[in-house]
A and B are shown apart, each in its own frame.
Chain A
Amino acid sequence: MTQPYSGLRILDLTGIAGAYGTRLFASLGAEVIKLEPAGGSPLRQLEPFLENAPDKERSLWWNYLAMGSKSVVVDPMSRRESLQALIQSCDVIFDDQLPEVSKLSDFNISPKTIRVSVTPFGLNGSKRSWKSSNLIAWAASGVLYTTGFVDRPPVAPGGPAQLILHGTALNAIIGAQIALRMRKLTGLGQNVDISMQEVGLSMAPEMGVPMLLDDRVHRERTGNRRDLGRPFGLYPCADGYVSIVVLMPQHWEATAKWIHEETDNDTILDDVFRDPSVRTETKELLDAWVEELTMKKSRLELFEEGQSRGIPITPVNTISALANDRHLAASGYWETVELPTGESAKIPGAPFRTNQNWWESARAPFLGEHTNEFID
């Protein structure tokens, strides 16, 4: 087996904004070294902890996001030469600080090395030293304002899932991969600059300047349904919620027929409702009719029967629903990871499959586990 990035060495100084990217690099064959302070990477401090026992080996964020990497702990003063040699040997460095305050600012970096920076607002511009978080980045990209119900405050997309930070990490690995292509031609490294704000903007053209200048429409929160038609959005059911997205004529026909059959509603078959704009104008009525159907059935009943009728309907899955999902069970998606207690646990497997067996995973390292490999 040949992994695409075998032979490549990466130094990672980042937290969540880089970790998913270096985790992918490690699973695709690269040697990823987490250079940690004596107290451990900030990722090790993040709860929840295994069995809720706070410990630097037990953060579940660390145990997932640091998979496949190596841990090196070194005192930069007393082991300066070894550390300099290690830094000099790296093909890629992931950092989350501005260059002038980086832990590496006193070290020489090879001109062949690719330096990837993940920062709140990028390396340049008036906000370069501003601080951020997943929530702040959603706020700065416009998406936060339009998420939630109009009579409630804006609310973070994906809540605590840290989506912008993972998106930043994905942009970071891609930047490094492109720079590696270029290094093959030039022999030289370069700087890759990823701004969390821009990552948010690049995932939300709806909120962007080109859209606004073209239609001059202020975007507002629309709750969990959208006025592009009906049914469109989330509907309560017997054991949670389902999502129904009906735009196409054939999807409406099938939906109206189903509601008619289940609830004896004859009016819904009227031709006037074939027009999505009519359905939007009468949305209170339409939504009530839809709920008469959905409230009678469970998420999975609605999903299976609706899909068999050719309607785009899906369950609103919770974390436990995903863990029990029959498609994911059948596809062989899940893999196991070894935990610091020696037990194993179920986690998501490769995010994509290949016919070349690229993906290989290994547990997260103990603090300083690999120091002796790299530091004299």
Chain B
Amino acid sequence: MESSSDKSGPLAGLKVFELGIAIAAPNCGKKLASYGADVFKVESLGNLDVVRLLGSAWAKDDPDKSRILPDTSPYVPEMNAGKYSVGIDLKNEEGLKVALELLAQCDVFLSNISAAALVRLGLDYEAVKQINPNIIYTQLPGFGSDPELPYYRSLAWGPNQSPLVGLDSLTGFAEDPPAGVATTAPPDYMSSLHALVAILAGLEHRDKTGRGVHVDLSQFEATISLLGPFLLELDVNGHEQGRIGNASIWGAPQGVYPSCEPERWIAITADDADSWQSLQKLASPCLDNDLFLTQQDRVENAQVLDQILSEWTSNFSSDDLTVRLQSAGVAAHIVATNEDILNDSHVMNSDFYKIAPSTRLGRDLFSGSAIRLSDAPSRVRNAAPALGEDTREVLEKFIDIDPEKFKELLAAGSIFEMAEPDLTFKRPWDDWIHILIPGSEDARDVL
């Protein structure tokens, strides 16, 4: 496990002012932090990030722990590891002043709250530009920042974005209602990734021109960009792509097949000639059938093919068959449950999950970055900050706030600090985590 206290990195020195809720902006800020940026997550008690409200199962029913609930959800580090939490009431005049002073020192502004809310707070681009003309101002609300547009005031958060951008109607078997994308929120992540592309491009732009930029990202538009081939198809061929279950649009077979165990499935893709041959050989003689001679035959007879393949896969355990198929050169994987991921030694030995110190929890566990740089491993200063944990440090260090002034602002409620700093708890897994996460004992050393 890498030392997580090393503060260098490719983005060292970059300062980011984040006003983020849930996933889209926070996930982007988390990635910037993991490559060395100082990311200031500005949080208000009156309008807490939804991940602060979720809490954790083990803390919810315990009155002792209810006071620290905002620091306990595993989503907090998932979206906010490595950041500073700065407690400022932005609706308070003095609070806003402090925020603007901090913002004046920053390279990047990052927010996914609604464009109308940013205007109300006085943190829209035109306002921020006045105090920081060269800022890379990045906003990624649902529908962009133009108040003249039809959906400007529409409510579409989290679970509503996938249906809106067309992903839910593409999900499911043709004969069923749309199954929807319930477990994850692709529009949030895809918008987050596009925002990161824009911010990093903004740094190049600033190097070249000396000027900042206003990045106006509509989650609606960014996600639909990924559906380009289908929209092009509708326009030029008049064909509308609908939901087709797990089938491939390029060949057959592809699907989710049963194993000999209940509710244990195997996903298989053999939609090109080479992998078909390998599959046919492995399953011989089940698939030696005149119905499946050419690619076109297999597509036309996909239903029969899936039926025969299902009968064959039902003879095997899911793990065993996955290994047999991959060894033969056929793309396959068990349809992993969350327990399977814990037992996936490839993942668990890859250092994808990170452990870092946490003021509230001693140490905490969270997903790392899917971007592995050979000369700049992602590393973070801490897991997630407790709510308001870094208010004093950040304001002293970055805007040189006077201690008297700090006290005044605190007393007036314009800013706030971490509640109950001495109250610490361990997560339920803390005593035996080293059994599960290779190298995790080392995290004790950096506490």
Contacts and interface: CB of A to CB of B under 8 A. Distances in A.
B232 A347 contact: yes
A182 interface: yes
B74 A210 contact: yes
Contacts, number: 505
A50 B172 contact: no
Contacts of A232: 159
Given A157-B171, A214-B56, A347-B228, A317 B163 contact: yes
A50 B236 contact: yes
B213 A178 contact: no
Interface stretch (B84-92, B183-191, B282-290): B183-191
Contact of B163 (A24, A199, A314): A314
Given A157-B167, A159-B172, A345-B236, A351 B337 contact: no
Contacts of A233: 159, 180, 182
A4 B31 CA distance: 21
Interface string B414-447: 0000000000000111000100110000000000
Nearest to B152: A327
A144 B179 CA distance: 12
Given A178-B371, A210-B365, A222-B182, A142 B337 contact: yes
A237 to B, nearest CB: 12
Contact of A213 (B165, B237, B436): B436
B127 interface: no
A173 to B, nearest CB: 6
B242 A318 contact: yes
A343 B367 CA distance: 46
B157 A245 contact: yes
A85 B75 CA distance: 48
Given A2-B205, A64-B228, A243 B183 contact: no
Interface residues of A, number: 148
B307 interface: no
A141 B200 CA distance: 27
Interface stretch (B106-114, B247-255, B389-397): B247-255
Interface in A308-354: 310-323, 326-328, 330-331, 333, 337, 339, 343, 345-354
Interface string A175-199: 1011111101110101111110111
A342 B384 CA distance: 54
Interface in B30-69: 31, 35, 56-58
Interface string A114-127: 00000011101111
Contact of B57 (A5, A181, A215, A311): A215
B100 interface: no
A192 B372 CA distance: 6
Nearest to B336: A142
Interface string A25-61: 0001000000000000000001110111000000011
B404 to A, nearest CB: 39
A136 interface: yes
Interface string B6-22: 00001100000000000
A332 B250 CA distance: 32
A348 B224 contact: yes
A209 B342 contact: yes
Nearest to A307: B154
A17 to B, nearest CB: 12
A320 B27 CA distance: 31
B300 interface: no
A168 to B, nearest CB: 8
B149 A147 contact: no
Contact of A322 (B227, B344, B371): B227
A193 B215 contact: no
A101 to B, nearest CB: 13
B243 interface: yes
B160 to A, nearest CB: 5
B341 A207 contact: yes
B156 interface: yes
A320 B256 CA distance: 28
24 contacts: A4-B201, A52-B237, A136-B333, A139-B334, A155-B171, A155-B172, A155-B173, A174-B193, A174-B371, A177-B204, A178-B11, A210-B366, A210-B367, A241-B169, A242-B163, A243-B163, A245-B160, A316-B164, A319-B230, A319-B234, A323-B235, A327-B220, A343-B236, A347-B231
Closest 3 CB pairs of A and B: A139-B267, A131-B331, A133-B269
Given A136-B331, A313-B160, A353-B216, 19 more contacts: A2-B209, A136-B269, A139-B336, A145-B335, A167-B189, A178-B373, A185-B10, A194-B370, A194-B372, A198-B347, A207-B183, A208-B353, A213-B436, A218-B338, A219-B183, A241-B169, A327-B220, A350-B225, A358-B201
Interface of A: 2, 4-5, 20, 24, 28, 46-48, 50-52, 60-61, 63-65, 120-122, 124-127, 130-133, 135-136, 138-149, 152-161, 163, 166-167, 170-171, 173-175, 177-182, 184-186, 188, 190-195, 197-199, 201-219, 222-224, 226, 232-234, 236, 240-243, 245, 307, 310-323, 326-328, 330-331, 333, 337, 339, 343, 345-356, 358
